[in-house]
Every structure is written in C-alpha cells, then in structure tokens.
Amino acid sequence: MAQEPRIDVETRASGIESSLTSEQVERIADALGQQGIWFAGAPERAGEARPADLVWDLVGDRPHQGQTATGRAAVYLAEGHDVLTRPLILADGFNYGPSDLDELWRHFNKPYQKGVPGFLDQLRTMGIDVVLLGFDQRHIAIQANAAVAVTAVLRTIEERRGDNPLVVGGVSMGGIVTRYALARMENERIDHQTDKYFSYDSPHLGAWIPLVLQQLAYMHEALAPRSGGPGQAELIRSPAAQQLLWGWVESADYSGPVTTSPLRKEFLEDLRRVGWFPMRPYKLGLANGTGNGAGPDLPPGTPVFDLQHEALQLTARIQPDGGELQNVGTVRFGAPVWTSATSHVRAFDGAPGGTLDSWGRLADAVGLPIQDRFRASAFVPAVSAVALARDPFQWQSDLYVDLGDLPKDETFLDAFCCDVANTEHSSVSRPLIEWFLEQLAGW
C-alpha cells in the first residue's frame, strides 16, 4: 500500500510569526521582496488582438453552493461567414479575477513559425468560427464556472446557423471546466451537440506547485500582509487552485497529508457523479510536456535558493524524490526557526510536463541570481495532461512514464499529442498546433 504523501514543519514557537522577533520579521519580509503573482502565466502583451464580431455576456445556468458565476464570450467569425456556422469554443484557464479575452486571443494567435499565420487565424481560414470563453472570477470553484460554460454551449447552439456540431474545450483549467460542463450536460440529458472535446495542457490528474514555494508564499503574507490586490498566497488559497493542485498546503506551519484538500475531494467526487469525462465527443489532449519520460534537468533535493543576509539564512530546495522527512526549506537566524520536510512525495519538479517559472519569479522578487535551468519546473506533468488512467490521488509513481507506446485503455482520451520539448505551460508550439489542425481538418 502506498505511503501517504505529507509535509512536516518545525518552528521554534507555535508558528513562524511567534518564532521571530520584530526585527527578524522585517528582515525576512525585506528579503522576500515585493509580493506578486508567482503561480500563474504571464499575460501576453505583444501583438494585436482582433476585434470580436460579437460579444456575449453570460450567466451560469445554475448556482454552485449559492454562487452564480458570470462570464463572457468573444466570437470571431470565420472568413466568409456572416453568422456562426462551425463553432469552436476555447475556454480560458486559471488565474485571479476576470479573463482578458484580448490577451487570450494574442496568446493563441502568436506566430509560432515565420511566415505562418497564427493558430486562431488558421482556424478562421479553415471556415471555423472561434468562440473565446472567459470567466469573471477564474479562481472560484470549477463547478461554478462550468455553469457558465454550459450557458456558452447552449447560446452557441442557439446562434448557430445549420447543424454543424461543436468543438468544445479549453486551455489549462479551461479544459477541466469544459470537461465537467459537457459531462454534466450528458448526465442531465442536455444535448450539447459537441463532436470533439479538447484540452490544452489541462491537469486532468492534477497540477504541481512546489510545496516549499506554497509555504514561502504563506510566510510572506503572514509577515508582510499585502494591501494592493491579491498576492500569491491568496491565489493558492482559492477554490480553483485547491481543486486543481495534486499537493496543497494550507499555511506555512501546516503539518500533515498534502493530498487531502476537502475542495479537491469534493470536486473529484462531483466529477465522478456526472460521468468523469463526457462520453459522446471524440476526446483530444495536447501536452506541453514531452512524451518520452525525460523532464527538465532539476536534480531532486538541489538547493535553488540559499539566501545569506547577515544573520538570516533562507534555503529552498527542488522537491526530493520520495523518502521520509526530506528537507525542502529552512529559515535560520543562527539556529533554525522554521524547517520543512516532505515524506513520500516524488520528484515532481523535474517531471516531463508543461513548465511554470515560479522559481524564477521568486528569484526576481528577492533579487537573487538563479541558474536558467532552475527558473522553471513542471506545472502540469505530461501524464496529467494526457489523462493517464490513474487514481487522481495516487499517480506520482508514473510521473516519468514513456507515453510513446501507451495502450489505448491507459488514457481517458481518444488521441493526444505531446510536445517535442518541455515547453512553457499553455504555450503555442508548432508540433501541437499542427497536430490539432490535422485533427480538425476532416470536421
């Protein structure tokens, strides 16, 4: 039987704050720099966003635990179309606050090869109408935003001329939102008229943010409360983050299991209740990670930060590979005042997958030099993006599986494509886009 992954923290007193003098608190807060968002993709500012032909304001078809989510969709008609005819819905991913659909257009239409139009422009040339779906609160529960996706599907069907089936999916969390929405519609016998479902580097088994970085975010918040908008701790604490992350800790001083967030358990039970995956559409998956089992060069247990600031020493390490009470972080003023160690947690940081530069962003905030190879680590492991047929709580032993000859019954998808290198999470790359366009060519 697999050992339960956990984290254990020791502090000099009842918590990190009470373990420190006011001067020491000030030194740590100063050393950690300005709070910001470390754990979400940077916005795409380059390039022009095409003006939408239509914009729909959307309200979820039902509340989730008393909360009714809202959002909007931007419709970009295909060349030669004056009404919606062959719709493809692409839902936005995780971050804090409202979607920026202009930014989403720029991101997915960014040229990936010289002389070749962007992905969304190619879709429009193929006669496919693009519907970008955004949410007013991306960080709330997935079930709430899935209700907005249901409304978007029904509105698309209502506005469409003819009877061409839909293609529905999303990037990152957007792929999970639409997975749930379509499955729920099938469970309730609502005709979604969707022929293909797709997920673009979506964490079907869960995503990964280094546990020690989660702890440092909480520590920073506790020692220097933020007043100008959300910080990284608030993002980690959000319902959507808890539902998406395989491992989650609730505070800098938390000791205990790391896969027991009640919100994640509840969401996965809800997903099973509605059917786990939609059954009617042909299911496609795209992974920013490689499929050959080779991840980034991040040796387990290697110190990324070893900050020396007068009497202060702050150390944070790449996630070790299993073992018991393996150190991941230490704060010292002479003697340790806070230490963190994991047990039975595998080497997620170096797994093949779509990457996020959380280590690099923290280094930039602190003003520390960092080797380029340490800036980014796995965020959505490839085995998660291809929906490996595993228990979403117990799949870490398969992080480095070679997906090249994966039997069909080993994934919940009908077809998938992995990138040729471990690229930034949700980034547009030639191998992924060309494969996806081939899948749509006969539709």
Q: What is the DSSP string of 168-211?
A: EEEETHHHHHHHHHHHHHHHTT----EEEEEEES--SS-B---H
Q: What's the pLDDT tens digit per position in 345-404?
A: 999 999 999 999 999 988 887 777 788 999 999 999 999 999 999 999 999 999 999 999
- How high is the pLDDT of residue 332? 82
Which two structure tokens, joined as six digits, stand for 50? 């095409």
State residue 224's pLDDT score: 67
User: What digits encode the pLDDT tens for the residues 130-164?
Assistant: 999 999 999 999 999 999 999 999 999 999 999 99
pLDDT of residue 227: 60
Contact assessment for residue 115 and residue 59, using Cβ atoms and an 8 Å cutoff: no
Residue 384's nearest CA partner among 248, 251, 283, 245 is 245
Structure tokens at 391: 């228990």
Judging by beta carbons within 10 Å of its beta carbon (0-12, 13-18, 19+), is residue 262 exposed, middle or buried? exposed
Per-residue pLDDT, 222: 77
**What ranges do the domains of the chain cover?**
6-40+209-258+295-380, 54-205+263-290+383-440
How far, in whole angstroms, is CA 137 from its chain's centroid? 15
Task: Give 373's DSSP letter.
Answer: G
Look at residues 47, 43, 36, 151 and name the one whose alpha carbon lies nearest to residue 91: 151
Backbone φ and ψ of 158, nearest 5°: -65, -40
| Element housing 130 (H / E) | strand 129-135
For residue 38, give both structure tokens. Answer: 């470390």
Phi then psi for residue 197, to 5 deg, are: -115, 140
Q: What residues are paired with 418 via a beta bridge? A: 287
Cβ-in-10-Å burial (0-12, 13-18, 19+) of 260 comes to middle
CA gap 10, 325 in Å, rounded: 11
**Taking Cα atoms as reference points, which of 285, 284, 281 lies closest to residue 165?**
281
Could you identify the residue written with the tokens 């950690």? 32
pLDDT in tens, the chain (443 residues): 578 999 999 986 556 666 666 766 666 666 565 555 555 555 555 668 899 999 999 999 999 999 999 999 999 999 999 999 999 999 999 998 899 999 999 999 999 999 999 999 999 999 999 999 999 999 999 999 999 999 999 999 999 999 999 999 999 999 999 999 999 999 999 999 999 999 999 999 999 999 999 998 888 787 766 666 567 788 899 999 999 999 999 999 999 999 999 999 999 999 999 999 999 999 999 999 999 999 999 999 999 988 777 777 888 999 999 999 999 999 887 777 889 999 999 999 999 999 999 999 888 877 777 889 999 999 999 999 999 999 999 999 999 999 998 998 999 999 999 999 999 999 999 999 999 999 998 76
On whether the pTM is more than 0.85, the answer is yes
CATH topology of domain 54-205+263-290+383-440: Rossmann fold (3.40.50)
Residues 6+ apart with CB under 8 A from 70: 57, 58, 59, 60, 135, 136, 137, 148
Which pLDDT belongs to residue 12?
61
